[in-house]
Amino acid sequence: MVGRVLAGRYELLEKVGEGGMARVYRGRDQLLKRTVAVKILKDQMTGSADFVRRFRREAQAAAGLSHPNIVNVYDVGEEGNTYFIVMEYVDGNNLKQYIREKGYLSPAEAVAIARQIAAALVQAHGAGVIHRDIKPQNILFSRDGKVKVADFGIALAADGSTLTCSDDIVGSVHYFSPEQARGNLAGKQSDLYSLGVILYEMVTGQVPFSGESPISVAMKHVQDPVEPPRRLNPHIPEPLERIILKALQKEPGKRYPDARAFLDDLLLFQQKGTAVALPASDLSADDGDTLVIKPVRQLDDEADPEERAELPAPKRWIAPLIIVLVVSFILVVGFIYLRGLLYVPEVTVPPVRELSQSDAVAVLIDAGLKVNPEVYYVFDDKIPVGHVVRTEPVQWRKVRQNRVVDLYISKGPETMSLPDLFGRTESEARRLLKEMELQCEIIREHNEAVAEGMVFRQVPEAGFRLSRGEQVIIYVSQGGPPFQISNLIGMTETEARDYLEVNGLLPRLRYERADAPAGTVIGQYPEVGKNVKKGQSVDIVVSKGNGKSEDDDD
């Protein structure tokens, strides 16, 4: 796919990501000269006519959204069996990566991020667009730190997917709403639940529910109560816990009525440290049906008095005592056995920075750890390509044996596509290269075809990929080469004008009375033999004659 041009304008430069439904490429809009992200649906997704129909409808609706916290959708198209969305290119990490790097976020930072996501949902829901797949992988950060919500318009088309172990489902199921987990169509309230999960994860470092399979996680969303986040992180303010638990209510009607109400409560907490949401004890109450157990018949009370009298007094307490002793013994033995089963020794995460990926995996396994098969690739200016930049958990940290370790592998220095500088002014070219953190060398040469001060050549050429700090040479025109001006004195005004025009010079005329015939050039500046360049002005003095004429009345 790399190198292909879609719709005659979107050149695919490099693949930057892949999910269960689509591949994402960094591309170049050749018409508007800007970097874009191009999401191309996988072949298995385009085999269904129903899927394609829903994809077109939702993507076109998303293209109508415009908000600072929403990744802009520029274009939706198809070319043969290739279906694609052209979006704003956001050159930054996603929220999932950011949480992994920091462990968990402060309440202030988490609320600031959640507020921007909620603002995006207010805009989208107001336009009738529901995301249906709000998760931290779809929350991007621009270079200036602004939060951008991506992938509006693709989730509904995929609603027919079953809970398999695809990358998209494994990544999404932790953020499913209970109604999505039941297989029902997601609505606006589902987006609010997913935002509640993200907020929970930001302040605790973990999702509310996890399990061995997508099905088990989905069932927990439906059945299990949410553990209050303050039990995991006691530094979370109580009003913020109330906001989170309200968003995570099982029933959509018990969550915030809309994204605006959610946003308002976040703003209230941010400004005054309080919230409208009910106390956590009210929010986390179980609304399910109560199981009523029929009382056991009290045989001793209802038995015939004579029957009770027949039982010898000592035998009434011997049997219960034996039962108590046996049960106690079983419990003690069971506790000791289970403790042995549940006890997991601790190991230390070994240092594997700068090792190759295969060597790092071997070292981690030898240390009694497991390695996540999903590797995360990051740019690094110092670590060679294919070698480990860092691990999560970090090296030297003590963890449980068999803990899964994430590897972050170097992609080498971050590269960028060199823009086309031809026709730009020298100052503009310098500014662009400075913003890209590239070195700039200026070479000035004469060039008759390009105006003075404009770039007419660059090395490397446009589109070449460079790393920060590398050098770019730009050639700036000095205009045409200088030449010696001819003697214009004695020429007629018309002849002098023609000479100047042919040589690219600009005449500035002045008329004076003189003995020379009227219309004759009697002076010039620069003088004959002096160097001039195209575009330069030349002063010429033209005689008005010496006798009485109509010119005397001028």
Tokens at 361, concatenated: 């995996």
- The b/e string for 314-333 (b: 16+ C-beta within 10 A; e otherwise) is eeeeeeeeeeeeeeeeeeee
Residue reference for tokens 């973990």: 206
8 Å CB contact between 452 and 478: yes
Which one from 133, 151, 168, 265 is the annotated catalytic residue? Answer: 133
8 Å CB contact between 222 and 193: no
My answer on whether omega of the bond before 314 falls inside 30° of 0, hence cis, is no
Strand 5-6 relative to strand 10-18: parallel, antiparallel, unpaired?
A: antiparallel
Residue type present at position 193:
Y
Strands of 470-520 (E only): list them.
Answer: 471-477, 483-484, 506-512
Within 130-177, residue ranges assigned H as helices are 167-172
CA distance 388 to 358: 10
Phi and psi torsions of 552, nearest 5°: -65, -25
Mark whether 133 is an active-site residue: yes
CA distance 248 to 552: 96
249's CB contacts (< 8 A; 6+ apart) are: 193, 255, 283
Measured from the Cβ of residue 120, the count of other Cβ atoms closer than 10 Å reads: 28
8 Å CB contact between 261 and 280: no
8 Å CB contact between 279 and 242: yes
CA distance 258 to 133: 17
Considering all CA atoms of the chain, what is the largest pairwise distance in Å, rounded to the nearest integer? Answer: 163
8 Å CB contact between 391 and 349: yes
- The b/e string for 51-77 (b: 16+ C-beta within 10 A; e otherwise) is bbebbbebbebbbebebebbbbbbbbb
Strand 398-400 relative to strand 346-348: parallel, antiparallel, unpaired?
A: antiparallel
Measured from the Cβ of residue 231, the count of other Cβ atoms closer than 10 Å reads: 10
Of 411, 417, 416, the closest CA to residue 380 belongs to: 411
Separation in Å, CA 359 to CA 294, 306, 372: 63, 83, 15
Residues 460, 466, 468: CA angle, nearest 5 degrees: 125
Phi and psi torsions of 348, nearest 5°: -100, 135
Residue reference for tokens 């060398």: 441
CA distance 126 to 67: 12
Residues that are catalytic: 133
